């Protein structure tokens, strides 16, 4: 049996005009036509709701004795029919589907997992340089992206990029650099871990191998763990034993030279506005980029400024900004010696911070300027007193290095 009660089923509300309404209703009852909401307005007019599948049968009963007017149609079928009869609805639906598909081709969120040493901002910045950012296209060469991250961020052992819908999940695993710890019970040397001239060696255990003034390279033995032995147990097998292995202990200080080279601009460039400007709009919709100001751009030197008006990631990446390009005249001014000296000192401070270990003592520093066509080369020479040396286990039967 068909479901007559469901409001989703197709039903028709009609107005019936004619004589002998009772006869018509009786005939419908006799033929098993289901009727709902019968409202008798007067002797000549009534309204009835019929199911769609009974409507043709009803029309056959009424023939031409009654005037039938359809007042309303209910149910999902007429709704769908009505919907698809309107062109604007079809266009809207197509547009909606297009936006839905189009927005799925962009990254709307980036989640970064697994970072420890690096900050999220650093990783995001690196990803942005590689082309992955909120609003970027998903059609990205992931191999190139990973390669960029490996090159840009040190000590990354693994990186994985996974798309979950519009979310890009970036997982990184950082490597751990831990100095090899040599057990106290094992014999070891103390070797140089950087180049320098030995200044002082304090050997608490082991034999001093590098005297003050010696030039050492990484890997050279500073305090040896092999101690020569002169046995007095004459007549026993022990007399043959000529050396003893110890766990070396001590500190070695060395003078380490640094030679650093920097460049400075010889001239200072001053920008003077000419009061000529171009205004425009920059629009970015997904991969489509339009900048109206650049169309009319014809200046040799200019300053570009932009004011963001709209920046959306969802449902599709849209960026709108007002652009202003001001023409400028660039004049060259030679920098004075004091300015160069000031800048050089800043570079020295930066170099010390970046290159020299924290617990080091600066013994000497010198600056040397060399003039080029447009640039000035600054050679910084530093001499520091640093603690060098690391423990290296002695493995019998294998070479030290």
Instruction: Give the shortest CB-101-to-other proteins separation in angstroms.
Output: 47
Please identify, using beta-carbon distances, which residue of 49 and 171 lies nearer to other proteins.
Answer: 49
Residues in 208-247 that interact with other proteins by CB under 8 A:
none
Instruction: Give the shortest CB-45-to-other proteins separation in angstroms.
Output: 12
- Residue 95: exposure state from Cβ atoms within 10 A (0-12, 13-18, ≥19): exposed
Q: For residue 123, give the nearest of 166, 171, 53, 193 by alpha carbon.
A: 171
Instruction: Give the shortest CB-47-to-other proteins separation in angstroms.
Output: 10
Instruction: State which H helix or E strand residue 1 sits in.
Output: none
CA–chain centroid gap for 275, Å, is 39
> Contact, 361 vs 384, CB < 8 A?
yes
355 binds other proteins (CB under 8 A): no
> Contact, 162 vs 171, CB < 8 A?
yes
21 binds other proteins (CB under 8 A): yes
How far, in Å, CA of 215 to CA of 197, rounded? 5
Please identify, using beta-carbon distances, which residue of 42 and 232 lies nearer to other proteins.
Answer: 42
Please identify, using beta-carbon distances, which residue of 12 and 223 lies nearer to other proteins.
Answer: 12
Instruction: Give the shortest CB-83-to-other proteins separation in angstroms.
Output: 29
Instruction: Give the shortest CB-4-to-other proteins separation in angstroms.
Output: 7
* Cα 231-236-238 angle, rounded to 5 deg: 45
Give the binding-site size for other proteins (rule: CB under 8 A): 17
DSSP letter (8 states) at residue 117 = S
Instruction: Give the shortest CB-20-to-other proteins separation in angstroms.
Output: 10
Q: Which two tokens stand for residue 231?
A: 């046995």
Instruction: Give the shortest CB-42-to-other proteins separation in angstroms.
Output: 8
DSSP string, 153-202: STTEEEEEEEEETTEEEEEEEE----PPPPPTTS-EEEE-SS-EEEEEEE
The strand ranges marked E within 293-374 are: 302-312, 318-334, 361-371
Instruction: Give the shortest CB-56-to-other proteins separation in angstroms.
Output: 18
Tokens 């034993």: give the residue: 241
How far, in Å, CA of 59 to CA of 28, rounded? 10
Please identify, using beta-carbon distances, which residue of 47 and 166 lies nearer to other proteins.
Answer: 47
Please identify, using beta-carbon distances, which residue of 36 and 289 lies nearer to other proteins.
Answer: 36
How far, in Å, CA of 178 to CA of 331, rounded? 53
Neighbours of 311 (CB within 10 A): 13
Instruction: Give the shortest CB-32-to-other proteins separation in angstroms.
Output: 7
Interaction pattern, residues 29-68, with other proteins; x per rule: CB under 8 A:
x--x-xxxxxxx--x--x----------------------
How far, in Å, CA of 223 to CA of 234, rounded? 30
Instruction: Give the shortest CB-313-to-other proteins separation in angstroms.
Output: 54
* Listed ranges 23-31, 157-165, 257-265, 390-398: which one lies at the site for other proteins (CB under 8 A): 23-31
Please identify, using beta-carbon distances, which residue of 48 and 168 lies nearer to other proteins.
Answer: 48
Interaction pattern, residues 117-136, with other proteins; x per rule: CB under 8 A:
--------------------
* Listed ranges 27-35, 273-281, 365-373, 381-389: which one lies at the site for other proteins (CB under 8 A): 27-35
Please identify, using beta-carbon distances, which residue of 43 and 354 lies nearer to other proteins.
Answer: 43
How far, in Å, CA of 134 to CA of 106, rounded? 8
Please identify, using beta-carbon distances, which residue of 49 and 214 lies nearer to other proteins.
Answer: 49
How far, in Å, CA of 256 to CA of 283, rounded? 56
Residues in 252-281 that interact with other proteins by CB under 8 A:
none
* Cα 257-211-191 angle, rounded to 5 deg: 70
6 binds other proteins (CB under 8 A): no
Instruction: Give the shortest CB-16-to-other proteins separation in angstroms.
Output: 12
Please identify, using beta-carbon distances, which residue of 28 and 246 lies nearer to other proteins.
Answer: 28
Which of 16, 28, 132, 254 forms a contact with other proteins (CB under 8 A)?
28
DSSP letter (8 states) at residue 342 = H
- Which residues make up the interface to other proteins (CB under 8 A)? 4, 21-22, 25-26, 28-29, 32, 34-40, 43, 46
């Amino acid at each position: 049996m068909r479901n007559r009660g469901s409001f989703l089923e197709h039903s028709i509300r009609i107005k019936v005009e004619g004589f002998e309404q009772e006869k018509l209703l009786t005939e419908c009852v006799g033929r098993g036509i289901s009727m709902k909401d019968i409202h008798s307005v007067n002797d000549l007019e009534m309204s009835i709701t019929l199911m769609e599948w009974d409507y043709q049968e009803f029309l056959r009963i009424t023939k031409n004795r009654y005037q039938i007017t359809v007042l309303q149609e209910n149910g999902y079928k007429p709704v769908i029919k009505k919907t698809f009869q309107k062109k604007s609805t079809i266009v809207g639906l197509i547009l909606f589907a297009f936006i839905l598909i189009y927005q799925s081709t962009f990254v709307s969120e980036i989640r970064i997992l697994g970072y420890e040493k690096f900050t999220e901002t650093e990783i995001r910045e690196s990803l942005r340089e590689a082309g992955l950012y909120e609003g970027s296209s998903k059609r990205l060469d992931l191999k190139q992206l990973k390669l960029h991250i490996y090159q840009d961020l040190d000590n990354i052992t693994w990186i994985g990029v996974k798309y979950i819908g519009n979310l890009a999940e970036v997982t990184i695993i950082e490597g751990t650099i831990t100095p090899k710890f040599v057990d106290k019970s094992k014999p070891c040397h103390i070797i140089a871990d950087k180049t320098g001239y030995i200044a002082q060696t304090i050997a608490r255990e082991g034999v001093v191998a590098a005297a003050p003034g010696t030039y050492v390279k990484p890997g050279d033995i500073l305090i040896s763990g092999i101690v020569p032995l002169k046995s007095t147990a004459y007549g026993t097998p022990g007399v043959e034993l000529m050396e003893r292995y110890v766990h070396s202990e001590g500190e070695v200080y060395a003078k380490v030279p640094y030679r650093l080279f920097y460049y400075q601009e010889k001239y200072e460039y001053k920008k003077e506005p000419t009061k000529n400007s171009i205004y425009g709009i920059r629009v970015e919709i997904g991969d489509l980029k339009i900048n109206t100001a650049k169309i009319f751009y014809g200046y040799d030197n200019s300053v570009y400024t932009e004011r963001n008006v709209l920046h959306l990631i969802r449902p599709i990446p849209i960026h709108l900004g007002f652009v202003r390009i001001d023409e400028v005249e660039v004049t060259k001014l030679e920098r004075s010696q004091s300015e160069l000296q000031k800048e050089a000192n800043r570079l020295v401070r930066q170099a010390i911070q970046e290159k020299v270990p924290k617990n080091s003592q600066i013994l000497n520093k010198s600056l040397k300027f060399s003039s080029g066509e447009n640039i000035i080369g600054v050679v910084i020479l530093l001499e520091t007193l640093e603690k060098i040396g690391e423990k290296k286990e002695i493995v019998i039967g294998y070479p030290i290095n």
